[in-house]
Amino acid sequence: MKPIKCLAVVFILSLTGLLPFHIVKAEEPPNVIWVVVEDASPHISCYGETTIETPAIDRLAQEGIKFTRAFVTCPVCSPSRSAMVSGMFQTTLGAHHHRSQRVSGKWSAKSNPYAASYALPESIELIPELFRDAGYYVVNGGNAKTDYNFTQPDNLYDGKDWSGRGEGQPFFAILNWRGGKYRQAKVDNPVDPADVKLPPYYPDHPVIREDWAKYLNSWLYVDSEMAELRNRLESEGILDQTAIFFWTDHGISHARGKQFLYDEGIHVPLIARLPHAQRAGEVREDLVLHIDVVAASLRLAGIEIPDYVQGQPILDEDYRPRRRIFSARDRCDETVDMIRCVRTPKFKFIRNFLPQLSHMQPNRYKDGKEIVQTMRELYEKGELNELQSRIFQPTREVEELYDLEADPFETHNLLVGTADEQRAYRDTANVLRLALYQWMIDSADLGVFPEPILEELGKQAGSKYGLLESRRDSRLIWRILETIEAGEREDRGALVIALKDDHPAVRWWAATGIGTLKDGLPQEELTTLLNDEFAGVRIAAAQSLCSHGPSPKALKVLEKEVFSDNRVAGMFAIRGLELIGEQSQHALPTIEKAKTIPYDFTRRIADRLSRWLHP
């Protein structure tokens, strides 16, 4: 442990202007608190919400720095938190899929043959470890949520409350508050559903109104928690020795929010109250990411920012604002998807890499919500308008482009607008697409590797992180992207060549792309891949063959792979059976047996498919 006195030198230097930020005089290093609220967008009064008032949070903003354009790198809990605690894009770290076979109840730690795939390399220290190394007492409080998509180091935190720290010892605390998950919160003056203002992409329906009102009530409860936190810090005499960062792990859990890259899913509040309320009332309109809090916090504590941290020190005087931010969504529970976006102050460009699948694929978590059930019922009755129906359509556009200044609710995709609009915005789309692809290369986006294949490669390498490091790997990403685009433009010749590529990820994307062809299926080449060395490729080839008509041989491959030791591959196989529709009737015994598999996400699909086959 480094002596705490060393950190005090940082503050002396800061007073002399030798460090690129200013801190009001402090005798000791500051305490650092991260308040991380679950499942909530910026529907608080200091961000313009008029239905409720949040005075405690408003006061925090008045005494601190309010960021109006703050975003998360992923709109779902575990990847967002994995990014938060590492300071890295979850796609770089290999933590981008929302929970997997590392999780208790899916494999035990001792019996998991893929444990190595979830290990962090020794070169990466998580943020709590960096603070502890610097002499801090490290806390994970509130509901003590972790939910990280990697094997958590032993004793990552010292406790659940800073009361256990040594005398004079600074603390770093992550306070996890339930926020939008606590819809049943009891508050004074609860919101009247009649007063709710719904976005235009949701129907004006009593169920939707009531849910939104309960969500706003959850913000009122958070505000009361903030008041309690402030009172405690004041009573302990440490408010002005403490930096408080307040944000949410992603947006509201609603149909277009959590799990998706619209602003409802990735735009979050972010407030930083510095010691002695320095820079009080400052409003920042530049683009920032939640991983930037990591770099800012380390700098504030005088801790060297490791090279692997991808967040930026946004409180530095010489900080150069980001021109763009990037966010990513991958598999969420049993729902396989891959979406990326790039956002500027004016435009949002969304890239759907599996456009042949619905925006609202089956998902037990989402489908269990009354709001989603209500919207599905209205959709099936034809009672939703075109905008509200869009998320339930069987397919999606490959690309979406929104003018956020003219269309803040992201309702009008300029790339499928009028001919004049498409011409006018073609160059904008080209620039943003290239920027997105370049970010995927520069950040080593592991999402280009289909998950069953990523599991195998991570197991072989001892970690997912580091699988994409060299210039050769950047060419591989381009090759994968070219294969994906070949599938979208139905370039049969390019896809057949890609089926023979030496990398399994390219072969997977080629086989998947061929499955979307209207005709001209290369039967011989796909049949050869039924014996590929990678289960993921075998599954993709089998699914594509079945999607073009009955194929007993391919069906047997899907059935066999349901029980793969690579349980993510098994989940892909059972989903493949679901996607081939009525052919899956011939696999009914396999489906029934799959309902007993230890891996929860495979069981979810098997249960759903069984109910569909036995209405």
Higher per-residue confidence, 468 vs 529: 529
Q: Can you give the pLDDT at residue 465?
A: 86
Higher pLDDT, 108 or 241: 241
First to last CA, the chain: 62
Spatial CB neighbours of 191, under 8 Å, sequence gap ≥ 6 = 51, 52, 213, 214, 216, 217, 220
How far apart CA 186 and CA 21 sit, in angstroms, is: 42
Cα separation of 609 and 412, whole Å? 35
* Dihedral Cα 39, 43, 45, 50, nearest 10 deg: -150
Burial (Cβ within 10 Å: 0-12, 13-18, ≥19) of residue 105: exposed
Band (pLDDT 50/70/90 cuts) for residue 101 is low
Mean pLDDT score across all residues of the chain:
92
- Between 277 and 119, the more confident residue is 277
Q: What is the CATH number assigned to the segment(s) 470-613?
A: 1.25.10.10
Distance of alpha carbon 540 from alpha carbon 509, whole angstroms: 8
The two three-digit tokens of residue 577, written as one number: 């059976």
Contact 146, 127 (CB under 8 A): no
Chain CA centroid to CA 100, Å: 14
> According to the model, what pLDDT value does residue 4 have?
44
- Return the pLDDT at 428: 97
Q: Which two tokens stand for residue 401?
A: 């482009």
For residue 155, give Cα distances in angstroms to 124, 140, 172, 576. Answer: 16, 11, 15, 40
- pLDDT reading at 253 higher than 60: yes
Give the pairing of strands 267-273 and 242-248. Answer: antiparallel
Domain covering 31-280: architecture: 3-Layer(aba) Sandwich (3.40)
Region 37-41 average pLDDT? 98
Q: Are 330 and 323 in contact (CB under 8 A)?
A: no
Q: What is the per-residue pLDDT across 48-97, written as a single tens digit (0 to 9) for each?
A: 999 999 999 999 999 999 999 999 999 999 999 999 999 999 999 999 99
Residue 575 is predicted with a pLDDT of 98
In what side-by-side order are the strands of the sheet with 347-352?
325-329, 339-343, 347-352, 399-403
What are the beta bridge partners of residue 243? 32
d(CA 270, CA 68): 7
**What are the CA-CA distances from residue 308 to residues 123, 312, 320, 457, 466 (Å)?**
9, 11, 19, 21, 11
- pLDDT, tens only, 402-418: 999 999 999 999 999 88
* Res 10: pLDDT: 45
Distance (Å, whole) CA 137 – CA 171: 4
Write down the pLDDT at residue 113: 72
The single residue listed with the structure tokens 């039967």 is 523
pLDDT of residue 99: 82
- pTM of the complete model: 0.93
Least confident of 84-98, 303-317, 357-371, 469-483: 469-483
- Residue 18 confidence (pLDDT) above 70: no
Whether the predicted pLDDT of 22 surpasses 50 = no
Computed over its alpha carbons, how large is the radius of gyration of the chain? 25
Q: What is the pairing mode between strands 339-343 and 325-329?
A: antiparallel
Same fold, 31-280 and 470-613: no
Enumerate residues 6+ apart whose C-beta is below 8 A from 344. 287, 323, 324, 432
Q: What is the pLDDT of residue 111?
A: 60
User: What are the pLDDT digits (tens) for 550-572?
Assistant: 999 999 999 999 999 999 999 99
Give every strand in the sheet of 282-289, ordered side by side: 137-142, 171-177, 31-37, 242-248, 267-273, 65-71, 282-289
pLDDT digits (tens, 9 = 90+) for 172-198: 999 999 999 989 889 999 999 999 999
| Pick from 3-17, 124-138, 176-190, 192-206: least confident | 3-17
Contact call for residues 536 and 563 (beta carbons, < 8 A)? no
Q: What was the pLDDT predicted at 117?
A: 78
Q: What is the DSSP letter of 166?
A: P
pLDDT above 70 covers a percentage of the chain that reads 93
Report residue 110's pLDDT band, with 50, 70 and 90 as the boundaries. Answer: low
26-43 mean pLDDT: 92
Which pairing describes strands 171-177 and 242-248: parallel, antiparallel, or unpaired? Answer: unpaired
Q: Say whether pLDDT at 13 is over 60.
A: no
Which of these ranges, 98-102, 202-206, 405-409, 525-529, has the smallest mean pLDDT?
A: 98-102
Distance (Å, rounded) from C-alpha 64 to C-alpha 159? 28
3-class SS of residue 106: coil
- Domain assignments of the chain as residue spans, ordered by start: 31-280, 339-435, 470-613
pLDDT band at 27 (very low <50, low <70, confident <90, very high): low
Does position 25 have pLDDT exceeding 60, yes or no? no
- pLDDT higher than 50, residue 106: no
Burial of 307 per CB tally in 10 Å (0-12, 13-18, 19+): exposed
